[in-house]
Amino acid sequence: MMMYMNDDMLYRFTPDALKYLYVNCSKYLDTYRNPDANFEKILQNAGFTNYREPVSVRFTRSLKLDIPNRVIPRYAELGAIEFYNVLEGMSPRLATDPSLLAYINHFYLHKYGLKRWNVSDDDKKAVKNIHQHWFSYDGKFRSICEQNLAGRTWWIAHTSLMAAHASNGMLASEQILEMFVHTAEYYHRTMQSELLSNYNIMAECLLALFNANSQLGMNSQISTGQYLEMLAAVNREAGGKLLDALERSDLREIVTRVANDTYALDSNRE
Amino acid sequence: MTHDRLLFSHPVLRPDGLDYTASCKFDVNISVKSKNKNIHLDIQYDLTSNFLNDLIQEHRAEYLAVIKCTKTGQRTAYKSENDIRLELDGGEFRDKLQVSTYIVAKQDLAKFHADEHDIEIRGIAENIPTGSILALTNQREILLDKMDGNVQAIIQLSDSLPTDDWSYNIVMNEDLIEIKMNAQAYRATMYLRSRNPKIIFPLLYVPAIENAIRRIKEDNDLDSLWARVIQNAIRSKDIDIDKADPNHIAQKLMEYPYSAIDNLLESSLKDDDVHE
C-alpha cells in the first residue's frame, strides 16, 4: 500500500467542517470504507464553500508509506522518520492540532489508514474506528500520539529523534524507532509516563532498555511489565529529589542501577 | 508534577509549610510575553532564607524551573543561581504551560540543619543527597496566546441564552469573549458562518471586540487572554488605542468585514444577469 503526497502547502479543517465530518461520519461510512474516498465532495455537498484554512506546513516531496507486513500493519511505522522529514514546518504544537491532523488523515493518509487501521464492517464499531484514527477530536495528547493516523506516525518519529539526540550518540533514532515499532507497548508506556517527558530521562531509560534487550539476545526481550516496573523504580528513586536536577552521569548511574536490579541482569557484562 | 502534598524526610521550605520559621519564604514572579511566535518568560525568584541563600551563593544549591506542557508532552528543566529569562519556541507548546519552581541541592549536603528550621525537626536530616528538593513554590499555569493575534479565535458563540427573541449577549469571560444567543439563532448563525464567515463578523464580532477594547481602555492591567490577544493585535497594526475610536479599531482588526457585502452584491448582480 503506497500513498503519494505532492509538494503541497497544507491546510487544516475549519472548526465547522471538522465538527460536521466528526458528527456525521456515520452517514458516510461507505465513503470512509472506500480507498478512493472524496471528502471534498462530501463537504461541498453539505454546503461548505470554505472548509479549510492554510497552515505553515508543507510536504517537501512525494512519500511512499508502505504496509510491508500485512500480518503486522504497524511495521509501516518504520517509515515514520521519512514521513516526519517530509513535513516541513511541523512542530509539537501543530502536531497536536486535531483539525490539521484530521485534514492530513482525510486527504493524504486515507488509503494508507484503511490498511493500517481497519475500519470495521460493523457500523457502530466503524464509527469508533474512524473517530479514533481519523479525528482525535478531543485533542488529548495520548489519543493523538497513540491512535491518530498522522499523529502517531509523526510523534513516534519525533520521540525517537528527540530521545536519540538526548542520548548524545548512545542510541540512534532508527534503533529507538525499531524498538517502538516491534513492541508497541514500549512506545505507549514511554508516551504515557510523566517521568519520561524530560528527554534526558527518557534517553537514559531507553538506553537501559536497549542494552538489556541486547544482552538477552534475539529470542527474548524485556516485557512491558518489566519496563513499567523499571520506570516505577526510577520514579521512586526520585521521591524527594528531582531527576531533572541531576548531572547526566548521576542520572545514568541511577537508571542503570535500577534497570539492572529490575531486569535481573548481570551488571558486569558490557 | 506537583509536590505540594509530598512528605519529605528533611526540612523543605514551601507555601503553608511548617518546616521553616515564619519569616522564611520562597516565591516566584513570572511574566510572559509572546514575540514573533516565541514565548518570553521572566522568572524572578523571591527568597527570604539566609540559610538557603547561603547554599546558593556557595554553589551548593540552585534554583530549578521545570516547564511542562501536557498538550504536547514537553518538559524541560532550567537551572540557575539567579533570576532567569527564557526564550521558548512557541511551536513546542499548546494552550498552557505549567511552571514549577524549586531550590535543589547541587551536591550531597551533610549536616543539613539551620536555625531557620522549625525547632521540632531541626537536625532530623543528616545527609541530603544531590538533587533533593530544598524549597518549592505552588505550580503556576500560564495560558498561551494560541491565536497568534487572530482576534476571531478569542470569540466563542454559544446557544445558552434562554430567550425567545433574537437578542444576543456579549460576556467577557476569563479567557474568551462569549456571544450568547438562543438555540435557534445559534443554528442559523452557524449555518451562515459555514457558508460565508465574513457576513457575521460585522453583525456580531465587531461589537464584541469594540466592547473588549472599551474595557481595555478603562483598565490597562487586564490580564485575561482576550485582552492580551487584542492588545497584541492592536500593537501589530500600529494602532494608537488612545486616539482611535474603539468601533473603528474593531473593524480594522477584523479587516473591515463590511467589505463582504461587495461579494454579495457581485453575486446578486450576476443572478440578475442570468434571469434577464
CA-closest candidate to residue A185, choices A146, A214, A159: A146
- Specify the pLDDT at position B147: 46
Cα B1 to Cα A144, B4, B63, B100, B246: the distances in Å are 21, 9, 17, 8, 43
Q: Mean pLDDT throughout A185-191?
A: 95
Q: Mean pLDDT throughout A151-180?
A: 96
Q: Which of B9, B90, B104 sits opposite A242 (nearest CB)?
A: B104
From B12's Cα to the closest Cα of chain A, the distance in A is 10
- Specify the pLDDT at position B150: 65
Check B73 against A240: CB less than 8 A apart.
Answer: no
The whole-angstrom separation of Cα A145 and Cα A130 is 15
Confidence of residue A268 (pLDDT cuts 50, 70, 90): very low
More confident residue, A98 or B239: A98
Q: Does A191 contact B at CB distance below 8 Å? A: yes
Q: Does A243 contact B at CB distance below 8 Å? A: yes
Asked whether residue B11 carries a pLDDT value surpassing 50, the answer given is: yes
- Let me know: does A144 contact A99? Beta carbons within 8 Å: no
Length of chain B: 276
Asked whether residue B5 carries a pLDDT value surpassing 70, the answer given is: no
- Specify the pLDDT at position B267: 64
Strand partners, A59: A87
The whole-angstrom separation of Cα B104 and Cα B132 is 5
More confident residue, A199 or B33: A199
Ranges A145-159, A217-231, B56-70, B139-153: which has the least confidence: B139-153
Q: Which of A20, A145, A241 sits opposite B131 (nearest CB)?
A: A241
Q: Does A228 contact B at CB distance below 8 Å? A: no
Strand partners, A58: A9, A88
- What residue in B sits closest to A192 (Cα-Cα)? B73
Q: Which of A144, A244, A249, A250 to mutate to test the interface with B (most CBs of B within 10 A)?
A: A244
Give the pLDDT confidence of B34-91 residue by residue, as tens digits. 766 788 889 999 999 999 999 999 999 999 999 999 889 999 999 999 999 999 998 8
Asked whether residue B109 carries a pLDDT value surpassing 50, the answer given is: yes
From A39's Cα to the closest Cα of chain B, the distance in A is 16
Ranges A147-151, A168-172, B108-112: which has the least confidence: B108-112
Q: What is the dihedral of CA A216, A218, A220, A223, to 10 degrees?
A: 90
- What residue in A sits closest to B190 (Cα-Cα)? A16
Check A242 against B64: CB less than 8 A apart.
Answer: yes
Q: Mean pLDDT throughout B192-220?
A: 82
From A216's Cα to the closest Cα of chain B, the distance in A is 31
- Specify the pLDDT at position B276: 39
Give the pLDDT confidence of A234-261 residue by residue, as tens digits. 888 877 778 999 999 999 999 999 999 9
Confidence of residue A219 (pLDDT cuts 50, 70, 90): confident
- Let me know: does B95 contact B73? Beta carbons within 8 Å: no
- Specify the pLDDT at position B203: 79
Amino acid identity of B68?
Answer: K
Amino acid identity of A179?
Answer: M
Query: For the CA atoms of chain A, what is the radius of gyration?
Result: 20
Mean pLDDT of chain B: 83
Mean pLDDT of chain A: 89
Asked whether residue A28 carries a pLDDT value surpassing 70, the answer given is: yes
Query: Sheet containing B38-48: which strands, arranged edge to edge?
Result: B25-35, B38-48, B84-89
Ranges A20-34, A207-221, B193-207: which has the least confidence: B193-207
- What residue in B sits closest to A91 (Cα-Cα)? B91
Check A194 against B89: CB less than 8 A apart.
Answer: no
Per the listing, cell 472524496 goes with A38
Check B90 against A244: CB less than 8 A apart.
Answer: no
The whole-angstrom separation of Cα B241 and Cα B231 is 9
Confidence of residue B134 (pLDDT cuts 50, 70, 90): very high
Chain A residues with CB inside 8 Å of B196's CB? 49-50
More confident residue, B256 or B167: B167
Confidence of residue A4 (pLDDT cuts 50, 70, 90): very low
Give the residue numbers in B contacting A (CB under 8 Å), as ranges: 1, 6, 8-10, 12, 62, 64, 66, 68-77, 79, 89-94, 102, 104-106, 129-133, 190-191, 193-197
- Specify the pLDDT at position B274: 44
Residues 6+ positions from A266 with CB-CB distance below 8 Å: A215
Q: Mean pLDDT throughout A148-175?
A: 96
More confident residue, B4 or A1: B4
- What residue in B sits closest to A139 (Cα-Cα)? B71
The whole-angstrom separation of Cα B215 and Cα A126 is 49
Q: Which of A197, A235, A257 to mutate to test the interface with B (most CBs of B within 10 A)?
A: A197
Lookup: cell for B257: 468585514
> What is the complex's ipTM, to 2 decimals?
0.81
- What residue in A sits closest to B69 (Cα-Cα)? A197
pTM of the model as a whole: 0.74
Range picked from A183-197, B50-64, B218-232 for highest mean pLDDT: B50-64
More confident residue, B275 or B199: B199
Q: What is the DSSP string of B177-200?
A: EEEE--HHHHHHHHHHHHH-HHHH
Strand partners, A12: A53
- Let me know: does A89 contact A100? Beta carbons within 8 Å: no
CA-closest candidate to residue A114, choices A134, A137, A138: A134
The whole-angstrom separation of Cα A1 and Cα B157 is 43
Amino acid identity of A101?
Answer: L
- Let me know: does A72 contact A64? Beta carbons within 8 Å: no
Lookup: cell for A217: 539476545
From A154's Cα to the closest Cα of chain B, the distance in A is 12
CA-closest candidate to residue A237, choices B77, B13, B74, B130: B130
